Structure 1
Amino acid sequence: MTSQIRIAGVVKESIVDGPGIRFVVFAQGCPHQCEGCHNPATHDLSGGHLVAIDTIIAEMKKNPLLDGITLSGGEPFLQSAGFSELARCAQAAGYHVMTYTGYTYETLTAKNDQEWLRLLKYTDLLVDGRFEAEQKSLLLKFRGSHNQRIIDVKKSQQKNQLVLSEIS
Protein backbone atom coordinates (compact mmCIF):
# COMPACT_ATOMS: atom_id res chain seq x y z
CA MET A 1 0.00 0.00 0.00
CA THR A 2 1.33 3.42 -0.97
CA SER A 3 0.59 6.08 1.61
CA GLN A 4 1.91 9.09 -0.33
CA ILE A 5 1.70 10.46 -3.85
CA ARG A 6 3.69 13.18 -5.63
CA ILE A 7 1.38 15.99 -6.67
CA ALA A 8 1.67 19.38 -8.34
CA GLY A 9 -1.24 20.68 -6.29
CA VAL A 10 -4.97 20.52 -5.66
CA VAL A 11 -8.08 22.56 -6.38
CA LYS A 12 -10.49 22.16 -3.48
CA GLU A 13 -13.63 23.03 -5.48
CA SER A 14 -14.04 22.76 -9.24
CA ILE A 15 -17.05 22.57 -11.54
CA VAL A 16 -15.03 22.19 -14.77
CA ASP A 17 -13.14 18.97 -14.01
CA GLY A 18 -16.04 16.54 -13.94
CA PRO A 19 -19.69 16.34 -12.94
CA GLY A 20 -20.78 18.21 -9.83
CA ILE A 21 -18.42 19.88 -7.38
CA ARG A 22 -15.04 18.17 -7.39
CA PHE A 23 -11.81 18.05 -5.45
CA VAL A 24 -9.04 17.92 -8.06
CA VAL A 25 -5.62 16.35 -7.48
CA PHE A 26 -2.93 17.10 -10.08
CA ALA A 27 -0.37 14.30 -10.38
CA GLN A 28 3.23 15.40 -10.77
CA GLY A 29 5.08 13.85 -13.70
CA CYS A 30 3.98 13.21 -17.25
CA PRO A 31 5.63 11.33 -20.14
CA HIS A 32 3.26 12.62 -22.83
CA GLN A 33 4.54 16.21 -23.15
CA CYS A 34 1.50 17.19 -25.25
CA GLU A 35 2.02 20.33 -27.31
CA GLY A 36 -0.27 23.03 -25.91
CA CYS A 37 -0.74 21.26 -22.56
CA HIS A 38 -2.53 23.56 -20.12
CA ASN A 39 -0.51 22.15 -17.23
CA PRO A 40 3.17 21.92 -18.34
CA ALA A 41 4.42 22.53 -14.79
CA THR A 42 3.28 18.98 -14.00
CA HIS A 43 5.63 17.33 -16.52
CA ASP A 44 8.80 17.18 -14.39
CA LEU A 45 8.91 13.84 -12.57
CA SER A 46 10.85 15.31 -9.64
CA GLY A 47 8.72 18.45 -9.22
CA GLY A 48 5.79 19.00 -6.93
CA HIS A 49 5.63 17.61 -3.42
CA LEU A 50 4.67 14.45 -1.57
CA VAL A 51 1.35 14.34 0.22
CA ALA A 52 -0.27 11.64 2.30
CA ILE A 53 -3.38 10.04 0.83
CA ASP A 54 -5.08 10.32 4.25
CA THR A 55 -4.45 14.07 4.19
CA ILE A 56 -6.27 14.43 0.86
CA ILE A 57 -9.25 12.36 2.04
CA ALA A 58 -9.44 14.33 5.30
CA GLU A 59 -9.39 17.61 3.35
CA MET A 60 -12.21 16.36 1.11
CA LYS A 61 -14.35 15.38 4.08
CA LYS A 62 -14.25 18.98 5.33
CA ASN A 63 -16.47 20.01 2.41
CA PRO A 64 -19.97 18.46 2.52
CA LEU A 65 -20.74 19.90 -0.94
CA LEU A 66 -18.23 17.72 -2.81
CA ASP A 67 -19.58 15.13 -5.24
CA GLY A 68 -16.28 13.58 -6.19
CA ILE A 69 -12.58 13.64 -6.81
CA THR A 70 -10.83 14.17 -10.11
CA LEU A 71 -7.37 12.73 -10.67
CA SER A 72 -5.66 14.88 -13.28
CA GLY A 73 -2.16 15.57 -14.34
CA GLY A 74 0.46 15.17 -15.08
CA GLU A 75 -0.26 11.50 -15.56
CA PRO A 76 -1.94 9.65 -12.64
CA PHE A 77 -1.06 6.26 -14.16
CA LEU A 78 2.67 6.97 -13.58
CA GLN A 79 1.86 6.65 -9.87
CA SER A 80 -0.90 4.10 -10.29
CA ALA A 81 -0.30 2.35 -6.95
CA GLY A 82 -0.77 5.58 -4.99
CA PHE A 83 -3.54 7.00 -7.14
CA SER A 84 -5.47 3.71 -7.07
CA GLU A 85 -5.26 3.79 -3.29
CA LEU A 86 -6.52 7.39 -3.29
CA ALA A 87 -9.37 6.43 -5.65
CA ARG A 88 -10.25 3.40 -3.49
CA CYS A 89 -10.37 5.53 -0.34
CA ALA A 90 -12.45 8.20 -2.09
CA GLN A 91 -14.98 5.64 -3.33
CA ALA A 92 -15.14 4.05 0.12
CA ALA A 93 -16.01 7.51 1.48
CA GLY A 94 -18.83 7.80 -1.07
CA TYR A 95 -17.15 10.00 -3.70
CA HIS A 96 -17.39 9.64 -7.49
CA VAL A 97 -13.94 9.21 -9.11
CA MET A 98 -12.93 10.68 -12.47
CA THR A 99 -9.44 10.12 -13.86
CA TYR A 100 -7.68 11.88 -16.74
CA THR A 101 -4.94 10.10 -18.70
CA GLY A 102 -2.93 10.65 -21.85
CA TYR A 103 -3.10 6.92 -22.52
CA THR A 104 -6.06 5.38 -24.33
CA TYR A 105 -8.38 2.99 -22.55
CA GLU A 106 -7.25 0.28 -24.95
CA THR A 107 -3.59 0.85 -24.03
CA LEU A 108 -4.37 0.79 -20.31
CA THR A 109 -6.24 -2.50 -20.51
CA ALA A 110 -3.96 -4.22 -23.07
CA LYS A 111 -0.80 -3.69 -21.02
CA ASN A 112 -2.32 -5.86 -18.28
CA ASP A 113 -0.41 -3.93 -15.59
CA GLN A 114 -2.08 -4.85 -12.30
CA GLU A 115 -1.65 -1.37 -10.79
CA TRP A 116 -3.08 0.30 -13.91
CA LEU A 117 -6.03 -2.09 -13.80
CA ARG A 118 -6.52 -1.36 -10.11
CA LEU A 119 -6.70 2.38 -10.79
CA LEU A 120 -9.25 1.69 -13.54
CA LYS A 121 -11.24 -0.49 -11.11
CA TYR A 122 -11.67 2.49 -8.79
CA THR A 123 -12.40 4.99 -11.59
CA ASP A 124 -16.00 5.77 -12.50
CA LEU A 125 -15.28 8.00 -15.50
CA LEU A 126 -12.07 8.09 -17.53
CA VAL A 127 -11.04 10.86 -19.91
CA ASP A 128 -8.50 9.20 -22.17
CA GLY A 129 -6.09 10.26 -24.88
CA ARG A 130 -3.40 12.86 -25.30
CA PHE A 131 -4.38 16.49 -25.72
CA GLU A 132 -4.06 17.34 -29.42
CA ALA A 133 -3.81 21.07 -30.08
CA GLU A 134 -5.11 20.75 -33.67
CA GLN A 135 -8.30 19.15 -32.28
CA LYS A 136 -8.72 21.63 -29.42
CA SER A 137 -12.21 22.92 -28.65
CA LEU A 138 -13.42 25.10 -25.82
CA LEU A 139 -16.94 23.75 -26.38
CA LEU A 140 -16.18 20.20 -25.23
CA LYS A 141 -17.40 19.14 -21.81
CA PHE A 142 -14.62 18.07 -19.41
CA ARG A 143 -11.97 17.55 -22.11
CA GLY A 144 -9.69 19.66 -24.27
CA SER A 145 -9.61 18.03 -27.70
CA HIS A 146 -12.01 16.05 -29.88
CA ASN A 147 -9.89 12.87 -29.80
CA GLN A 148 -10.35 12.54 -26.05
CA ARG A 149 -13.21 10.39 -24.83
CA ILE A 150 -15.21 10.25 -21.62
CA ILE A 151 -15.55 6.57 -20.82
CA ASP A 152 -17.90 4.92 -18.36
CA VAL A 153 -15.37 2.50 -16.89
CA LYS A 154 -17.82 0.39 -14.86
CA LYS A 155 -20.11 -0.23 -17.85
CA SER A 156 -17.10 -0.87 -20.10
CA GLN A 157 -15.80 -3.51 -17.70
CA GLN A 158 -19.23 -5.12 -17.28
CA LYS A 159 -19.86 -5.32 -21.04
CA ASN A 160 -16.22 -6.06 -21.89
CA GLN A 161 -16.33 -3.34 -24.52
CA LEU A 162 -15.83 0.41 -24.54
CA VAL A 163 -18.87 2.39 -23.36
CA LEU A 164 -18.79 6.16 -23.70
CA SER A 165 -20.36 8.21 -20.94
CA GLU A 166 -23.63 9.96 -21.59
CA ILE A 167 -22.12 13.24 -20.31
CA SER A 168 -19.76 13.42 -23.28
Structure 2
Amino acid sequence: MKLQIGGFLDNSLVNGDGMRSVLFVSGCIHNCESCQNQLMQSFDYGDSVLVGDILKKIVKNVPIIKGVTFSGGEPFESALALSKLSEGIRKQGLNIWCYSGYTYDEIINSEDKDKLGLLKFIDVLIDGKFHEELRTDASKYTGSSNQRIIDVQKSISENKIVLWE
Protein backbone atom coordinates (compact mmCIF):
# COMPACT_ATOMS: atom_id res chain seq x y z
CA MET A 1 0.00 0.00 0.00
CA LYS A 2 1.27 3.47 -0.89
CA LEU A 3 0.85 6.83 0.78
CA GLN A 4 1.23 10.25 -0.83
CA ILE A 5 3.54 12.25 1.42
CA GLY A 6 4.59 15.86 1.36
CA GLY A 7 7.51 15.48 3.73
CA PHE A 8 9.15 13.60 6.58
CA LEU A 9 11.19 14.81 9.56
CA ASP A 10 13.40 12.25 11.29
CA ASN A 11 13.15 14.14 14.57
CA SER A 12 11.32 17.16 15.90
CA LEU A 13 10.55 18.67 19.29
CA VAL A 14 7.77 21.02 18.12
CA ASN A 15 5.18 18.64 16.64
CA GLY A 16 4.16 16.88 19.84
CA ASP A 17 5.48 15.84 23.22
CA GLY A 18 9.10 14.69 23.20
CA MET A 19 11.41 13.83 20.33
CA ARG A 20 9.39 12.41 17.45
CA SER A 21 9.38 11.72 13.74
CA VAL A 22 6.84 13.69 11.72
CA LEU A 23 5.04 12.50 8.60
CA PHE A 24 3.35 15.13 6.44
CA VAL A 25 0.67 13.55 4.27
CA SER A 26 -0.59 15.14 1.07
CA GLY A 27 -4.20 16.07 0.46
CA CYS A 28 -6.61 18.23 2.41
CA ILE A 29 -10.18 19.38 1.81
CA HIS A 30 -10.35 21.99 4.60
CA ASN A 31 -8.63 24.87 2.78
CA CYS A 32 -7.89 26.81 5.98
CA GLU A 33 -7.00 30.45 5.47
CA SER A 34 -3.30 31.03 6.22
CA CYS A 35 -2.64 27.29 6.21
CA GLN A 36 0.89 26.52 7.38
CA ASN A 37 1.29 23.80 4.74
CA GLN A 38 -0.66 25.08 1.71
CA LEU A 39 1.33 23.06 -0.82
CA MET A 40 0.29 19.87 0.94
CA GLN A 41 -3.41 20.58 0.33
CA SER A 42 -2.98 19.02 -3.12
CA PHE A 43 -3.51 15.25 -3.15
CA ASP A 44 -0.77 15.03 -5.82
CA TYR A 45 1.91 16.97 -3.92
CA GLY A 46 5.08 15.14 -2.93
CA ASP A 47 5.91 11.49 -3.42
CA SER A 48 4.02 8.22 -3.44
CA VAL A 49 5.84 5.98 -0.95
CA LEU A 50 5.23 2.43 0.25
CA VAL A 51 3.96 2.27 3.83
CA GLY A 52 6.69 -0.29 4.60
CA ASP A 53 9.40 2.13 3.43
CA ILE A 54 8.02 4.88 5.68
CA LEU A 55 8.01 2.47 8.61
CA LYS A 56 11.68 1.63 7.92
CA LYS A 57 12.55 5.35 8.13
CA ILE A 58 10.73 5.60 11.45
CA VAL A 59 12.36 2.47 12.88
CA LYS A 60 15.82 3.91 12.09
CA ASN A 61 15.01 6.74 14.53
CA VAL A 62 14.25 4.42 17.46
CA PRO A 63 15.28 4.77 20.34
CA ILE A 64 15.94 8.50 19.80
CA ILE A 65 12.23 9.20 19.24
CA LYS A 66 9.34 8.43 21.57
CA GLY A 67 6.61 8.85 19.00
CA VAL A 68 5.39 9.80 15.55
CA THR A 69 3.20 12.73 14.52
CA PHE A 70 0.89 12.70 11.50
CA SER A 71 0.39 16.13 9.98
CA GLY A 72 -0.34 17.38 6.53
CA GLY A 73 -2.39 17.90 4.57
CA GLU A 74 -5.19 16.05 6.33
CA PRO A 75 -4.16 12.70 7.79
CA PHE A 76 -7.73 11.40 7.93
CA GLU A 77 -7.95 11.67 4.12
CA SER A 78 -5.31 8.90 4.07
CA ALA A 79 -6.80 6.94 6.97
CA LEU A 80 -6.49 3.41 5.60
CA ALA A 81 -2.79 3.70 4.71
CA LEU A 82 -2.02 5.48 7.99
CA SER A 83 -3.80 2.72 9.92
CA LYS A 84 -1.51 0.16 8.29
CA LEU A 85 1.50 2.32 9.16
CA SER A 86 0.21 2.79 12.71
CA GLU A 87 0.18 -0.97 13.28
CA GLY A 88 3.92 -1.02 12.64
CA ILE A 89 4.52 2.10 14.72
CA ARG A 90 2.71 0.54 17.68
CA LYS A 91 4.91 -2.58 17.44
CA GLN A 92 7.88 -0.26 18.04
CA GLY A 93 6.32 0.97 21.30
CA LEU A 94 5.89 4.50 19.95
CA ASN A 95 2.98 6.84 20.62
CA ILE A 96 1.08 8.58 17.83
CA TRP A 97 -0.04 12.21 17.68
CA CYS A 98 -2.17 13.56 14.86
CA TYR A 99 -3.10 17.03 13.64
CA SER A 100 -6.50 17.17 11.92
CA GLY A 101 -8.85 19.82 10.61
CA TYR A 102 -11.69 17.49 11.55
CA THR A 103 -12.99 17.71 15.10
CA TYR A 104 -12.98 14.67 17.35
CA ASP A 105 -16.80 14.72 17.24
CA GLU A 106 -16.83 14.69 13.43
CA ILE A 107 -14.51 11.69 13.37
CA ILE A 108 -16.13 9.67 16.17
CA ASN A 109 -19.62 10.25 14.70
CA SER A 110 -18.48 9.43 11.18
CA GLU A 111 -19.68 6.34 9.38
CA ASP A 112 -16.30 6.15 7.63
CA LYS A 113 -14.73 2.91 8.91
CA ASP A 114 -11.25 3.96 7.77
CA LYS A 115 -11.36 7.21 9.77
CA LEU A 116 -12.67 5.41 12.85
CA GLY A 117 -10.01 2.74 12.39
CA LEU A 118 -7.23 5.31 12.34
CA LEU A 119 -8.61 7.12 15.38
CA LYS A 120 -8.19 3.95 17.46
CA PHE A 121 -4.41 4.07 16.90
CA ILE A 122 -3.99 7.73 17.87
CA ASP A 123 -2.92 8.72 21.38
CA VAL A 124 -3.28 12.48 21.04
CA LEU A 125 -5.38 14.39 18.52
CA ILE A 126 -5.04 18.12 17.90
CA ASP A 127 -8.43 18.71 16.37
CA GLY A 128 -10.18 21.46 14.44
CA LYS A 129 -9.45 23.69 11.50
CA PHE A 130 -6.96 26.50 11.89
CA HIS A 131 -8.79 29.85 12.06
CA GLU A 132 -6.66 32.93 11.40
CA GLU A 133 -8.96 35.17 13.48
CA LEU A 134 -8.45 32.83 16.47
CA ARG A 135 -4.66 32.60 16.12
CA THR A 136 -2.94 32.13 19.46
CA ASP A 137 0.40 31.17 20.92
CA ALA A 138 -1.11 30.13 24.26
CA SER A 139 -0.30 26.48 23.56
CA LYS A 140 2.85 25.23 21.88
CA TYR A 141 0.88 22.55 20.01
CA THR A 142 -2.13 24.48 18.66
CA GLY A 143 -2.36 27.38 16.23
CA SER A 144 -5.83 28.75 16.99
CA SER A 145 -7.92 28.82 20.16
CA ASN A 146 -10.65 26.56 18.78
CA GLN A 147 -8.23 23.64 18.52
CA ARG A 148 -8.08 21.09 21.31
CA ILE A 149 -5.40 18.65 22.43
CA ILE A 150 -7.35 15.46 23.08
CA ASP A 151 -6.29 12.28 24.84
CA VAL A 152 -7.95 9.94 22.35
CA GLN A 153 -7.59 6.67 24.23
CA LYS A 154 -9.11 8.12 27.43
CA SER A 155 -11.83 9.82 25.38
CA ILE A 156 -12.79 6.54 23.73
CA SER A 157 -12.79 4.58 27.00
CA GLU A 158 -14.73 7.26 28.94
CA ASN A 159 -17.06 8.03 26.00
CA LYS A 160 -16.44 11.78 26.38
CA ILE A 161 -13.73 14.21 25.32
CA VAL A 162 -10.78 14.15 27.71
CA LEU A 163 -8.11 16.78 27.14
CA TRP A 164 -4.45 15.76 27.17
CA GLU A 165 -2.40 16.96 30.12
Quickly name the TM-score band, shorter chain normalised: over 0.9
- The TM-score with structure 1 as length reference comes to 0.94
Letter in 1 for 2:158: K
For structure 2, which runs of at least 5 residues remain unmatched after alignment? none
Residue 43 of structure 1: which of 41, 44, 48 is its match? Answer: 41
Quote how far apart the aligned CAs of 1:81 are. Answer: 0.3
Describe how 1:80-119 pairs up with structure 2 within 5 A.
80-119=79-118
Letter in 1 for 2:145: H
Match in the other structure for 1:129:
128
Kindly provide the CA deviation profile for residues 64-85 of structure 1, in whole angstroms up to 9, marking residues without a partner as x.
Answer: 2111100001001111100111
Quote how far apart the aligned CAs of 1:55 are. Answer: 1.2
Q: CA RMSD of the aligned region, Å?
A: 0.9
SS of 1:154's partner is helix
Kindly provide the CA deviation profile for residues 91-120 of structure 1, in whole angstroms up to 9, marking residues without a partner as x.
Answer: 121110001110000000111211111100
**In the alignment, structure 1 residue 74 sits paired with structure 2 residue 73:** yes
Identity %: 40
Match in the other structure for 1:158:
157
Describe how 1:7-86 pairs up with structure 2 within 5 A.
7-63=5-61, 64-86=63-85
Quote how far apart the aligned CAs of 1:138 are. Answer: 2.6
Number of residue-to-residue matches in the alignment: 164
For structure 1, which runs of at least 5 residues remain unmatched after alignment? none
Quote how far apart the aligned CAs of 1:53 are. Answer: 1.4
SS of 1:87's partner is helix
Quote how far apart the aligned CAs of 1:141 are. Answer: 2.0
Letter in 2 for 1:119: L
SS of 2:143's partner is coil
| 4+ aligned runs moved over 6 Å, structure 1 | none
